[in-house]
Amino acid sequence: MARVFSAQRLTDFAAAILHAEGVPQTDAATIAGLMVEADLLGGDGHGLFRLPRYCERLRAGGCNATPDIRIDKERGAMAVVDGDNGFGHLVMKFCADEAVKRARTHGIGWVGAHHSNHAGAAGVYAMIPLAHDMIGLYVAVGSANHMAPWGGLEALLSTNPIAVALPATGRQPVLLDMATTVAAYGKVKLAAQRGETMPPDWMIDADGNPLTDPLRAAEGLLMPIGGPKGYGLSLIFGLLAGTLNGAAFGRDVIDYNTDDDSVSNTGQFIVAIDIASFTDLDHFKAEIARIGDEMTGSALRPGFDAIRMPGERALSVRDERLARGIPVPDAVVAKLDDMARACGVPPLQEGNA
C-alpha cells in the first residue's frame, strides 16, 4: 500500500526535516528538490526513501550540514571541487552549475569532486545541463563496495554508475542511467521481498558459486555486466570519479549503509558538453529525435512489447508523477513521519497531499 503526495509536498517536507537537522534553508530546499527528482524519475530507492539514512549520518557526524563547498583546483575547462563533506546533492549541483559555466566558455566543462557524499540518482545530475542546451554526463564512485574485481572474491568495487543525457526536439531526452553490475541491489531486495529466486548471473557467494537465494545477499557479491568488461568499466569509472579527484576508491570506500560517522570522501564528476560548439543545435536535437524514431520503430523481436530509448520509461514516469503525484509506500511514510515528529516537523500523514 502507498499514499500519493505531490512532488512539491514531498520537497517541502524533506526540506523542513533537513532544515530542522541543521541544514541552512536554501541548501535544504536544493537537496530536497534533487532528492524528490529521483522519486519523480521512478528511482524510488534513491529519493526520499534515503532521507532517514542521510539524517542518521548527519546526526552522527558522518556528513557536514554546513559545508563550505569550494573550487580546489581549476584550469579552463575543468575544476576539482572540495565538497567539505556536505550532502552529495549539494556538491553535485555546485559541480553541474560549474561544468555548465565552463562549457559555455570552453565548449566542455569537466568538474569532479572529492569529499562529497551519496547524491541519489545519477540521472538527475546528467539532466541538469539539458536546460542549457548541453549534454550531461555523470559518473560516481558508489557508496558501498558490492563487487569483486573479475576473478576475485573481495568486494573492492561498487556498482559505479554512469548517466548520460542528451536533448531532443519533439521527443523525450535520451537518458541512460546504469550501474556496471547485472543487477542493482534494489532488484535483489525486491526478489527477497517477493520470495523469488535470482537468476544465476546476478550474484556469487563467498566461494564464487552462483548465489540465487536473495535472502543470502549479504554474503554475496554482485556480478559485473559482460564479465571482465563490466569490471573494467567499474574500475575505470572509479579511478576517474574517485582517484583522479582525490576521493576514495577500492578498500578506502566505507559502507555508507552501515557506517554512521566516517567521512566517506565520495568522488563524482560531471561533464557538460556545449552542443552548439560542435554542431547546429536545432539540427542536433532533431537528429536525436529522428534516431529515437528509427530505433523504436525498427523490427520488434518476438517476446518484447516495445523497443525503447534509454530513459523512456523513467521520463514517462516523471510526467505521470508530476501530473498525479508520487506514490510513497506506507512503511516509508511511517518511517518518515517518525523522523518528522522527532524533529518537530508536521508529519506527511497530517498534511495535505
Comparing CB distances to its own copies, the nearer of 74 and 320 is 74
How far is the C-alpha of 100 from the C-alpha of 77, rounded, in Å?
10
Taking the complex as a whole, the smallest distance from the CB of residue 310 to its own copies amounts, in Å, to 4
Residue among 7 and 178 whose Cβ is closer to its own copies: 178
Provide, rounded to whole angstroms, the least separation between the CB of residue 343 and its own copies.
39
For residue 288, give the 3-state DSSP assignment.
helix
Question: Cβ closer to its own copies: 253 or 333?
Answer: 253
Q: Which is nearer to its own copies, 61 or 199 (CB)?
A: 199
Residue with Cβ nearer its own copies (60 or 307): 307
Q: Which residues are paired to 39 by β-bridges?
A: none
Of residues 35 and 247, the one with the C-beta less far from its own copies = 247
Residue 66 CB, shortest distance to its own copies, in Å, is 26
Rounded-to-integer distance, Cα 109 and Cα 182, Å: 30
Contact in structure between 126 and 161 (CB atoms under 8 Å)? no
Nearer to its own copies, 210 or 325 (CB): 210
User: Between the CA of residue 248 and those of 20, 179, 188, what are the distances in Å?
Assistant: 30, 18, 26
Instruction: Tell the smallest beta-carbon distance from residue 345 to its own copies (Å).
Output: 39
Place of cell 508530476: 322
| Partner residues linked to 327 by β-bridges | 4
Torsion of CA 337, 341, 344, 346, to 10 degrees: 40
Cα angle, residue 37 at apex, residues 271 and 339 outer, rounded to 5°? 125
Contact residues for 57 (Cβ-Cβ < 8 A; gap 6+): 63, 117, 256, 260, 261
Q: What are φ and ψ of residue 117, in 5° steps?
A: -145, 180
Smallest distance, its own copies to C-beta of residue 73, A = 6
> Taking the complex as a whole, how short is the minimal distance between the CB of residue 273 and its own copies, in angstroms?
7
Question: CA-CA distance, 98 to 71, in Å (whole number)?
Answer: 9
Cβ(24)–Cβ(350) under 8 Å? no
Q: How far is the CB of 294 from its own copies (least distance, A)?
A: 5
State the sign of the Cα–Cα–Cα–Cα dihedral 51, 313, 282, 295: positive
